[in-house]
Amino acid sequence: MLNETFATGAAASAHLFAGLVVHLDELISVLATTAIFTVFGLLVFGLAYAIIVKVTPFSIRKEIEDDQNTALAIVIGAVIIGISLIIAAAIHG
């Protein structure tokens, strides 16, 4: 009984993750695409941070590091998460 349950669960699990397998002949293109999207995401994060720094009338580094402004750190973290969701949606299609 236990072996049948395990076999059924393993078969269902293998079927569930079958789309995540990368064949060896496709590996180079998948790695290249991953590298391109990684660089794109880092550039967008850098651009967003640069815009935030230019728009704010105070020093973000001083506020977060020296003055321990937790609220500002949370807002910047929320912006980064929002941008990452937008990039993920654009990549996924």
Domain contains 76: yes
Q: What pLDDT does residue 30 have?
A: 84
Q: What pLDDT does residue 74 have?
A: 94
Domain contains 26: yes
Domain contains 68: yes
Domain that holds residue 55: 21-92
The phi, psi pair for 69, rounded to 5°, reads -80, 95
Domain contains 10: no
Domain contains 6: no
Structurally, the chain folds into a number of domains equal to 1
Domain contains 12: no
Domain contains 15: no
Q: What pLDDT does residue 71 have?
A: 94
Cβ atoms of residues 87 and 44 within 8 Å: yes
Q: What pLDDT does residue 68 have?
A: 92
| Amino acid at position 76, single letter | I
pLDDT tens, residue by residue, 8-60: 555 555 556 666 677 888 888 888 888 898 888 888 888 988 998 899 899 88
Q: What pLDDT does residue 26 have?
A: 81
